[in-house]
Amino acid sequence: MPEGPSVRKFQLLTSPFVGQVVAKVGGSSRKLSVNDLNALKLQDSQVHGKNLYLAFVAAEGPVGPTAEETALQREAAFGEHCPAQGQQGQAGVPHPHSQDEELQEAQHSRSEAPEAAQGRGNWLRIHFGMFGSVRANEFSRASRANKRGDWKDPVPRLVLHFESGGFLVFYNCRMLWCSSPRADPASDILSVEFHRGWALRALRAPDPVCYTLLDQRYFSGLGNIIKNEILYLARIHPLTPGSLLALSDLERLLDCALQFSSEWLHRKLRGQGLHPQVYQKEQCPLGHPLMKGTFGPLGGFKRLTWWCPQCQPAVLPGDGDPSPVTG
């Protein structure tokens, strides 16, 4: 699925439409009655980790809370459950996913969090699937033929036409109403409120670091591309238990995560692509052959992982000098 930097860019595309009224709707979504959005005003747009949230209110009527008021209410709202859903996949990935990775993405989307029935709220939660995207004032066009040899343009799940004449188009996503964004900015790797101390404590668990990095409770927005790249940049073997790493190693890994995510976002905003060093590669930048494996917690979701045995040697008990994590 699109990782934090991609969804941040999607949110920036929707922001200019905040305050505008929906004049016409369209799309192929079967889970959402798209006509319910007619004549509503887009009140707010927020991103939390890998999810985009859009708030809608009646065009003429009591105005709901502003973005600032929503932020003040977030602590209270955090306890409320917002249903989770979605097929997962990468958007803007430098190379197409293999069928194995696509199947794993779909399995993960079903296990990430259970769905729950609740009354409709005024926030639309958008969870992007494989190659999911948002476009402003343009439609996506086919870049190649499908398996049957047809050049068919992607079908949008939702199209919002606004009274101003502009429009937003949402592709390959799942949408559901919820009462408020359910997220903790302290775990969002692109948030100014990200809490390093909590992240370091999570990384210090005895689990392999490649498991912990994908745990959205501690690293919201961090996905498989970021995981592979930062483990190589920090020169850490993906299956190294966090409890065997020194504090300096954990600090370096966390610095790589924050810097890589921020730089990826800035590249996206400049219209530049990502040039990974190990993700879906056969050699590392130093010319060493890469290994590839599928790793994940017992009974949990497994992800494809690339690493360099020479640049990222395995750490055995007794090799490291773990230091206590504080803060």
Residues forming the active site: 2-3, 50, 303
**Exposure letters 127-139 (e unless 16+ CB within 10 A, then b):** bbbbbbbbbeeee
Residue type, 284: C
* Beta strands 123-136 and 51-58, pairing class: antiparallel
CB 194 within 8 A of CB 188: yes
Tokens of 126: 């958008």
* Distance, CA of 48 to CA of 67 (rounded, Å): 13
CB 313 within 8 A of CB 325: no
* Distance, CA of 326 to CA of 247 (rounded, Å): 10
Residues 6 or more apart in contact with residue 276 via CB below 8 angstroms: 94, 225, 228, 229
CB 304 within 8 A of CB 278: no
Q: What is the dihedral of CA 95, 100, 103, 108, to 10 degrees?
A: -90
Residue type, 34: V
CB 322 within 8 A of CB 244: yes
* Distance, CA of 16 to CA of 269 (rounded, Å): 15
CB 238 within 8 A of CB 307: yes
* Distance, CA of 175 to CA of 272 (rounded, Å): 28
